[in-house]
Every structure is written in structure tokens, then in C-alpha cells.
Chain A
Amino acid sequence: MPTSMPLQAYLVLAAVLFAIGLFGVVTRRNTIGILLGIELMLNSVNINLVAFARFAGDTAGLVFTVFTISITVAEVALGLALVILIFRVRRTVVADHLDLLQG
């Protein structure tokens, strides 16, 4: 057993989480479910940022992780507000039924 994990271990973990989130975004029908998948993907990116910052000994990565976390929270708040708004107008949150712009 190594005494500390290498950088690659964190990158592999983040890649696996990113792929799982992408799978959720592609396969979910419910708009809220799609947003949860996007959350997973953004979260895995944060792991990458922190791991690189720690191994490079540079605090810039940590600062920008604070920024990405904050921006993600704003994105989720607006995304879910949009979902509720769409629901009030169209009475559905299933992404397949939201095809108003389909020619």
C-alpha cells in the first residue's frame, strides 16, 4: 500500500464520475434528473482542480474551485427556476415533450 495516492488516482476517479454524470445527462427523461447529472459532471471537475492545485503547490486552483462551486450553485438555482417556469407553462418536465422549437 503506498503511503500517499498519486495525482493519477484522483484524475481517474474524476474521469469515472464525469462519465457517470454524462450517462445520466444522456439517458434521463426528467429535466431535474438531467440537471442532477450535470451536477455530477461539474463536481468531478472540482476534484481535478483541487488535485492539480495540491500537487502543483499553487493556490490558484483552490481559488478557482471556490469560483466554480459558487457559479454551479447559481446555475442550479436558475436551472431549477427555469424547470418550474417551464412546468407552469407546459405542465410537463419530461425533456422529450419540450419540443416547441422543433420544425
Chain B
Amino acid sequence: MSLEPIAFGVLSVVLVASALAVVLTKNLFHSVLWLALALTGTAGIFLTLDAEFLAAVQLLLYAGGVVTIAVFAIVVTERLVGDRITQTSRQLTNGFVIAAAVLVGVLSFVLRAPQSGPRPPIAEDLTRAIGESVLTRYVLPFELLALLFLAALLGAIYFARPDD
């Protein structure tokens, strides 16, 4: 008896509830906090899949970086506007129909597929395997990623330049 099904069940409930709160809550700031919970829950899902390194990356980059940037954006736009931004939703019916259609389409595809076999045992240290493939087989995408970050950095600085 392993803990994994229990952890998966609890994390699923937390994930779906916080994701619903992200898209439904009125206060934009609360929305970001619920997103932080959802991203942390995803890190937990990564842990149940034995991907400890990715869980750490998820926490640092997503739950740390993205949430901080989003809070910054809200604070800046609120300061410029002068009053708190509450957000309303529109076309709830249309949105629900589209999301439900996509969900039914994907689920019918997933559930029709043959049942997967059990997960194979971990052959080696996954973090070590990731590090080795990043610097050998996938070194070109890795360097391209560095280029992308440089472009994103320059772009963000360009956008954020002070008014002339």
C-alpha cells in the first residue's frame, strides 16, 4: 500500500478547486494567490511522478517568479488607475460551452485509449539524467533557451523604459 493514490486524490481536489477559484473569483489579487496554490499543487503532482527536480523548478520559477511578476503588474496598474481593479467576467455561458466541448473531446480520446501498463521502475537518478541530456543530446535547444531569455530580457527592458 503506497501513499501515492491518496496524495494524488488530495492534490487533484486542491488543484481543481484552486483552478476554479482562479477563473471565478472577483478580486484579481485573490486570483493570483489561488494561482500560486494551483502551481504549488502541480509541484506536488510532479512529486507523485518521482520528478523531484521538476517540482523544485516548478516552485522556484512558476510559483516564485510568475506570481511575483503578476503581483507587480497588478500593483503597478492599480497605482496608475488609483482604485482597486475588480474584474468581471462576461459570456459565462459561451465560455462554459467551449470549455466543456474541449474537455469532452479530450476525455473521449483519453478514455478510449487502451489502459497503460504499470510505470517502469526508475532506472537511474532522474535529476542526473536530466542534467546529462541537457548538456549532451539537447544542448542546442538549451542554448536556444538562453537566447530566448536574452531576447525576453531585452524586450522587457525596452517595454518598461521610462516615458520620454
Chain A binding site: helix, strand, loop or mixed by DSSP?
Answer: helix
By a CB distance below 8 angstroms, the chain B residues around A12 are 107, 110-111
Confirm or deny: B70 has a beta carbon within 8 angstroms of a beta carbon on chain A: yes
The bracket for how many chain A residues form the interface is 35 or more
A66 CA / B129 CA spacing, docked (Å): 13
* Partner among A8, A16, A50 whose Cβ is within 8 Å of the Cβ of B16: A16
Chain A residues with CB under 8 Å of B38's CB are: 17, 40, 43
Query: Is there an interface contact between B159 and A82, defined as CB atoms closer than 8 Å?
Result: yes
Cα A71 to Cα B90 in complex, Å, equals 30
**Interface residues, chain A, with chain B CB atoms under 8 Å away:** 1-13, 15-24, 26-30, 32-33, 35-37, 39-40, 43, 46-47, 50-51, 53-55, 57, 59-60, 62-67, 69-78, 80-85, 87-88, 91, 93, 96
- Offer 15 A-B interface pairs, CB within 8 angstroms, sorted by A: A3-B4, A8-B115, A20-B99, A23-B96, A27-B89, A28-B23, A39-B39, A39-B62, A54-B49, A54-B51, A55-B119, A63-B134, A70-B145, A82-B159, A87-B80
